[in-house]
A = this chain, B = another copy of it.
Amino acid sequence: MTLKTPSGVASHFLRIQEVASELGLTTRSIRYYEELGLLSPAARSDGSYRLYDASDVERLRFIKGLRDDAGFSLAEISQLLEDEAARVKSREAYSQTGDPAERRAIVTDSLGRFDRQSRILREKIARLETMVSAVEVRRSRLEGRLADLDAGGLGEVR
Protein backbone atom coordinates (compact mmCIF):
# COMPACT_ATOMS: atom_id res chain seq x y z
CA MET A 1 0.00 0.00 0.00
CA THR A 2 1.90 3.02 -1.23
CA LEU A 3 0.35 6.25 -0.13
CA LYS A 4 0.28 9.93 -1.03
CA THR A 5 -0.42 11.02 2.52
CA PRO A 6 1.24 14.39 3.20
CA SER A 7 2.46 13.45 6.65
CA GLY A 8 3.71 10.09 5.42
CA VAL A 9 2.76 8.54 8.74
CA ALA A 10 1.73 4.92 8.51
CA SER A 11 -1.84 4.47 9.71
CA HIS A 12 -4.74 2.17 9.38
CA PHE A 13 -6.87 3.26 6.48
CA LEU A 14 -10.39 2.41 5.48
CA ARG A 15 -11.92 2.53 2.04
CA ILE A 16 -15.03 4.48 1.36
CA GLN A 17 -17.51 1.61 1.62
CA GLU A 18 -16.03 0.46 4.92
CA VAL A 19 -16.44 3.93 6.34
CA ALA A 20 -19.95 4.18 4.95
CA SER A 21 -21.00 0.90 6.55
CA GLU A 22 -19.49 1.81 9.89
CA LEU A 23 -21.36 5.10 10.00
CA GLY A 24 -24.58 4.18 8.25
CA LEU A 25 -23.96 6.52 5.35
CA THR A 26 -23.79 5.90 1.63
CA THR A 27 -20.65 6.31 -0.42
CA ARG A 28 -22.51 8.90 -2.42
CA SER A 29 -23.14 11.02 0.65
CA ILE A 30 -19.52 10.86 1.69
CA ARG A 31 -18.35 11.92 -1.75
CA TYR A 32 -20.96 14.66 -1.76
CA TYR A 33 -19.72 15.99 1.58
CA GLU A 34 -16.24 16.02 0.16
CA GLU A 35 -17.52 17.89 -2.87
CA LEU A 36 -18.93 20.52 -0.52
CA GLY A 37 -15.60 20.81 1.25
CA LEU A 38 -16.77 19.26 4.51
CA LEU A 39 -13.94 16.74 4.60
CA SER A 40 -11.26 15.14 2.54
CA PRO A 41 -9.77 11.69 2.96
CA ALA A 42 -6.42 11.52 4.70
CA ALA A 43 -4.90 9.88 1.65
CA ARG A 44 -5.44 8.42 -1.78
CA SER A 45 -4.06 5.10 -2.97
CA ASP A 46 -1.90 4.95 -6.08
CA GLY A 47 -5.02 4.17 -8.03
CA SER A 48 -6.67 7.16 -6.33
CA TYR A 49 -8.94 5.21 -4.02
CA ARG A 50 -10.03 7.41 -1.11
CA LEU A 51 -8.41 6.26 2.14
CA TYR A 52 -9.80 7.41 5.48
CA ASP A 53 -8.09 7.38 8.84
CA ALA A 54 -9.64 7.40 12.31
CA SER A 55 -9.90 11.17 12.54
CA ASP A 56 -11.67 11.31 9.17
CA VAL A 57 -14.17 8.81 10.49
CA GLU A 58 -14.68 10.88 13.64
CA ARG A 59 -15.24 14.01 11.63
CA LEU A 60 -17.73 12.18 9.44
CA ARG A 61 -19.50 10.81 12.48
CA PHE A 62 -19.82 14.34 13.79
CA ILE A 63 -21.13 15.56 10.45
CA LYS A 64 -23.68 12.79 10.43
CA GLY A 65 -24.76 13.73 13.94
CA LEU A 66 -25.16 17.35 12.97
CA ARG A 67 -27.27 16.32 10.02
CA ASP A 68 -29.39 13.51 11.52
CA ASP A 69 -29.62 14.39 15.19
CA ALA A 70 -29.34 18.15 15.11
CA GLY A 71 -31.04 18.48 11.74
CA PHE A 72 -28.64 21.05 10.32
CA SER A 73 -28.34 21.59 6.61
CA LEU A 74 -24.99 20.87 5.02
CA ALA A 75 -24.57 24.62 4.54
CA GLU A 76 -25.01 25.18 8.26
CA ILE A 77 -22.62 22.34 8.98
CA SER A 78 -19.88 23.92 6.90
CA GLN A 79 -20.40 27.15 8.82
CA LEU A 80 -20.11 25.29 12.08
CA LEU A 81 -17.15 23.13 11.16
CA GLU A 82 -14.03 24.61 9.79
CA ASP A 83 -13.87 24.33 6.05
CA GLU A 84 -11.66 21.37 5.25
CA ALA A 85 -9.25 23.43 3.17
CA ALA A 86 -8.81 25.96 5.98
CA ARG A 87 -8.43 23.09 8.42
CA VAL A 88 -5.60 21.46 6.51
CA LYS A 89 -3.94 24.83 6.10
CA SER A 90 -4.05 25.67 9.78
CA ARG A 91 -2.81 22.21 10.74
CA GLU A 92 0.17 22.69 8.49
CA ALA A 93 0.74 26.22 9.71
CA TYR A 94 0.78 24.86 13.24
CA SER A 95 3.35 22.19 12.58
CA GLN A 96 5.43 24.46 10.35
CA THR A 97 5.82 27.27 12.83
CA GLY A 98 7.78 26.88 16.01
CA ASP A 99 6.67 30.26 17.28
CA PRO A 100 4.56 29.74 20.40
CA ALA A 101 2.70 33.00 19.75
CA GLU A 102 1.54 31.83 16.34
CA ARG A 103 0.67 28.43 17.74
CA ARG A 104 -1.28 30.09 20.51
CA ALA A 105 -3.28 32.05 17.95
CA ILE A 106 -4.14 28.92 16.01
CA VAL A 107 -5.17 27.02 19.12
CA THR A 108 -7.24 29.92 20.41
CA ASP A 109 -9.03 30.07 17.09
CA SER A 110 -9.97 26.41 17.29
CA LEU A 111 -11.07 26.78 20.87
CA GLY A 112 -13.46 29.51 19.76
CA ARG A 113 -14.93 27.21 17.15
CA PHE A 114 -15.46 24.41 19.64
CA ASP A 115 -17.14 26.85 21.98
CA ARG A 116 -19.44 27.97 19.22
CA GLN A 117 -20.27 24.38 18.41
CA SER A 118 -21.21 23.43 21.93
CA ARG A 119 -23.12 26.66 22.45
CA ILE A 120 -25.22 26.05 19.35
CA LEU A 121 -25.86 22.44 20.33
CA ARG A 122 -26.84 23.50 23.84
CA GLU A 123 -29.24 26.07 22.47
CA LYS A 124 -30.84 23.40 20.38
CA ILE A 125 -31.09 21.13 23.41
CA ALA A 126 -32.79 23.94 25.32
CA ARG A 127 -35.37 24.42 22.58
CA LEU A 128 -36.05 20.70 22.51
CA GLU A 129 -36.51 20.72 26.26
CA THR A 130 -39.06 23.49 25.88
CA MET A 131 -40.89 21.29 23.43
CA VAL A 132 -40.83 18.35 25.82
CA SER A 133 -42.34 20.59 28.47
CA ALA A 134 -45.08 21.64 26.10
CA VAL A 135 -45.89 18.01 25.40
CA GLU A 136 -45.98 17.30 29.10
CA VAL A 137 -48.38 20.12 29.78
CA ARG A 138 -50.77 18.63 27.26
CA ARG A 139 -50.21 15.19 28.66
CA SER A 140 -51.10 16.24 32.16
CA ARG A 141 -54.27 17.96 30.97
CA LEU A 142 -55.32 14.63 29.52
CA GLU A 143 -54.33 12.81 32.69
CA GLY A 144 -56.75 15.05 34.53
CA ARG A 145 -59.56 13.92 32.28
CA LEU A 146 -58.54 10.29 32.74
CA ALA A 147 -58.57 10.69 36.51
CA ASP A 148 -62.03 12.20 36.28
CA LEU A 149 -63.27 9.27 34.20
CA ASP A 150 -61.73 6.79 36.61
CA ALA A 151 -63.43 8.61 39.49
CA GLY A 152 -66.77 8.04 37.81
CA GLY A 153 -66.88 11.47 36.19
CA LEU A 154 -67.80 12.20 32.59
CA GLY A 155 -64.41 13.51 31.56
CA GLU A 156 -65.84 16.75 30.28
CA VAL A 157 -63.47 19.11 28.47
CA ARG A 158 -64.06 21.79 31.15
Chain A residues with CB under 8 Å of chain B are: 62, 65-66, 68-72, 94-95, 98, 100, 103-104, 107-108, 110-111, 114-115, 117-118, 121-122, 124-125, 127-132, 134-136, 138-139, 142-143, 145-146, 149-150, 152-155, 157
Contacts and interface: CB of A to CB of B under 8 A. Distances in A.
**Copies of the protein in its oligomer:** 2
B115 A121 contact: no
Most B CB contacts (10 A, CB to CB) among A65, A69, A108, A122 go to A69
Nearest 6 CB-CB pairs, A to B?
A71-B71, A114-B139, A69-B127, A118-B135, A103-B155, A121-B132
14 contacts: A69-B71, A69-B124, A70-B71, A94-B157, A104-B146, A104-B155, A107-B146, A111-B142, A111-B143, A117-B135, A118-B135, A118-B139, A121-B131, A128-B128
